[in-house]
A and B are shown apart, each in its own frame.
Chain A
Amino acid sequence: MTDPPRPDRNDSGLRSAGLLLAIPTLLIVSPLVGFFLGGALDRWLKTSPWIGLVGLALGFVAAGRETQKIYRRYLNEEDRSKRR
């Protein structure tokens, strides 16, 4: 059984929604991951609380970076759909 050729899909709205859906939890989770990984290193190296704090800061930066990346992608999707 062979399927007939599929029409090219153009669900940029769905893709944009999915992209934006990823942002909120990434913003919350990235600093937490940084803090807990840093905290684990702190416990191991007995340097509490410094690496945890650095991890928290890096986590915030990582969250911002991921958000920027996703948002840039979202803007590209929007541009593309406007051009069509």
Chain B
Amino acid sequence: MGLEFLNRVRRTTLIAGAVGAVVMATYAGPWTGLALAAGALWSLLNLFAIERLVVALTGRDRGTPATVKAAGWAIAGMALLFAAGALLLARLPIPALLVGFGLPFAVLTLKAASSLLLGSRVWRATVASPWRAALVVATVLVAAWWVVPGLMQRPAGAQTAATTEHAAPAELAAAPADEHAAPAGGEHAAPAGEHGGAHSESKGPQKFANVITILARAFPDAGWAHFLHEFEAVIYALFVALILSVIAFLASRNPQMIPSGLQNVVEALVEGLYDFIAGIIGDRHAARFVPFLGTLGIYIWFMNLFGIIPFMDSPTSSLNVTFALGLIVFLYAQWIGLRGLGFVGYIDHLLGQPRDVTGWMLAPLMLPIHILGELAKPISLSCRLFGNIFGEDMLLVAFVSLGITSMSFLPGWAPGLPLQLPFLFLALLTSTLQAAVFMVLATIYFLLMLPHDDHGHEHEAQHAHSH
């Protein structure tokens, strides 16, 4: 086991620990998240001290004053760590701390196991053919499909009580709308009855029924239906990503010098996006940022349009999805700033670049102002996209309902007027426009993070944030 392997373990643990801490802080409380992070950090430091000690005692230079000193520091550090560990155990939730403590060892074990697996003959045979590999992945996904809902299922009594309580009113609400659903234009089945089996259904405005909500209503007691309904937006977002991946794969698997068919369409789209983004951010940075920004634009465009397809839903009509997209842009923009300025320069920028007494006195004021200005960007991005797409969905629901109501004076079965049709075309336009706006603004936020002189401002060689 080389030191490089340990470095990789450390990096993976840091990422896994950070993600785990955020998840725990969100779902189990901030102290639990902090405990997991502290446990993982403690364990990593301990691993580092052990590594130093082992290297000092067994390395080529062992016995020299420098290695003896290093060993002494490692032992002192371990003693301090154990004292800190005792303090942590007394102050923070112990189960989360233990999970954090165990994280590096879990990563170590998994990495060792994956090293063994990747070198094995079975693995090589599996990945030799893409179809065989796809079959294995599909099998794993199907297994997960069956296992995960089972694991997530609550105790039987509690679940039955909860679903019975919530399903009944939702079904009652769905019934009258369903009667008029089909005549109103097929795809928009039940404006009033989207949510069947979950708990937050009767609150707020309701959207059109989609495949998942219909399934959730049809199987109100099934764990898998509850799971699907709970993660509806994420599932649709992943489905769109899958469709885009397949399109990209099909378009690029056999590239021709003179493109035709799908390759032609995709190349035209990519080239158009490249020119568009390069026009804003400049040619020098286009190659670096177009893959991210272009993907973002196409992905959002498809997600926006997905809601127009019958029995589907726009993932971007969920604030969770749009906020996640905004967060990605925010993190990338901060990364650009951090890389450009360095850590100290970045903190200096956040403090307003104080260079004299007045500057330092204003620094405590400049820090929250800068942070608020940066935080406002992803929130404005996500709120704008969510508001527009959700509003577009609501507009369609309103006009479908109006179309049904306008013909309700006729006795018995009567088709509704398709009043939503003009707004479907409007939805096509706004979906495209909102994807473009999101992409343009993300590009602008990146542009604001880049040095000015890239665009010909020789007189302003300072960073975009330096004023």
What is the interface of chain A, defined by CB distance below 8 A to chain B? 1, 6, 8-9, 11, 14-15, 18-19, 21-22, 25-26, 28-30, 32-34, 37, 55, 58-59, 61-63, 65-66, 69-70, 72-73, 76-77, 80
- Contacts A18-B280, A62-B373; is A33 near B379 (CB within 8 Å)? yes
- Complex CA gap A21/B467 in Å reads 21
Partner among B282, B383, B441, B448 whose Cβ is within 8 Å of the Cβ of A69: B448
- Provide 23 A-B residue pairs closer than 8 Å at the C-beta atoms, listed in order of the A residue: A6-B278, A9-B275, A9-B278, A19-B444, A22-B444, A26-B373, A28-B380, A29-B379, A29-B380, A29-B383, A30-B372, A30-B373, A33-B372, A37-B372, A58-B365, A58-B369, A61-B369, A62-B376, A66-B373, A69-B467, A70-B444, A73-B448, A80-B456
Chain B residues near A6: list those with CB within 8 A.
Answer: 278, 283
What is the interface of chain B, defined by CB distance below 8 A to chain A? 255, 257, 275-276, 278-283, 365, 368-370, 372-373, 375-377, 379-380, 383-384, 437, 440-441, 443-445, 447-448, 452, 455-457, 460, 464-465, 467
Q: Is the CB of B369 within 8 A of A65?
A: yes
Q: Is the CB of A76 within 8 A of B457?
A: yes
Q: Is the CB of A21 within 8 A of B444?
A: yes
- Complex CA gap A11/B275 in Å reads 10
At the interface, is chain A mostly helix, strand, loop or mixed?
Answer: helix
Q: Is the CB of B467 within 8 A of A72?
A: yes
- Contacts A6-B283, A76-B457; is A33 near B278 (CB within 8 Å)? no
Question: Across chains A and B, which 10 residue pairs bring their CB atoms closest together, nearest first?
Answer: A11-B279, A25-B380, A62-B372, A29-B380, A30-B376, A62-B373, A29-B376, A18-B440, A62-B369, A66-B373
Chain A residues near B456: list those with CB within 8 A.
Answer: 80
- B463 to A: closest C-beta gap in Å: 11
Chain B residues near A28: list those with CB within 8 A.
Answer: 380
Q: Is the CB of A65 within 8 A of B373?
A: yes
Partner among A11, A63, A66 whose Cβ is within 8 Å of the Cβ of B280: A11
Most A CB within 10 A of own CB, among B376, B437, B445, B452: B376
Q: Is the CB of B376 within 8 A of A1?
A: no
New A-B contacts (6) at CB < 8 Å, excluding given A58-B365, A69-B465, A73-B448: A6-B283, A9-B278, A21-B444, A55-B372, A62-B373, A69-B467
Chain B residues near A32: list those with CB within 8 A.
Answer: 379
Q: Is the CB of A21 within 8 A of B440?
A: yes
Q: Is the CB of B280 within 8 A of A14?
A: yes
Q: Is the CB of A25 within 8 A of B384?
A: yes
Chain B residues near A19: list those with CB within 8 A.
Answer: 444, 447
- Complex CA gap A81/B445 in Å reads 21
- Complex CA gap A82/B243 in Å reads 45
Nearest A-chain residue to B459, judged by Cβ: A76
Chain A residues near B373: list those with CB within 8 A.
Answer: 26, 30, 62-63, 65-66
Q: Is the CB of A58 within 8 A of B372?
A: yes
- B320 to A: closest C-beta gap in Å: 17
- B459 to A: closest C-beta gap in Å: 9
- Complex CA gap A25/B383 in Å reads 9
Q: Is the CB of A1 within 8 A of B372?
A: no
Q: Is the CB of B369 within 8 A of A26?
A: no
Most A CB within 10 A of own CB, among B280, B372, B377, B455: B372
Chain A residues near B377: list those with CB within 8 A.
Answer: 22, 26
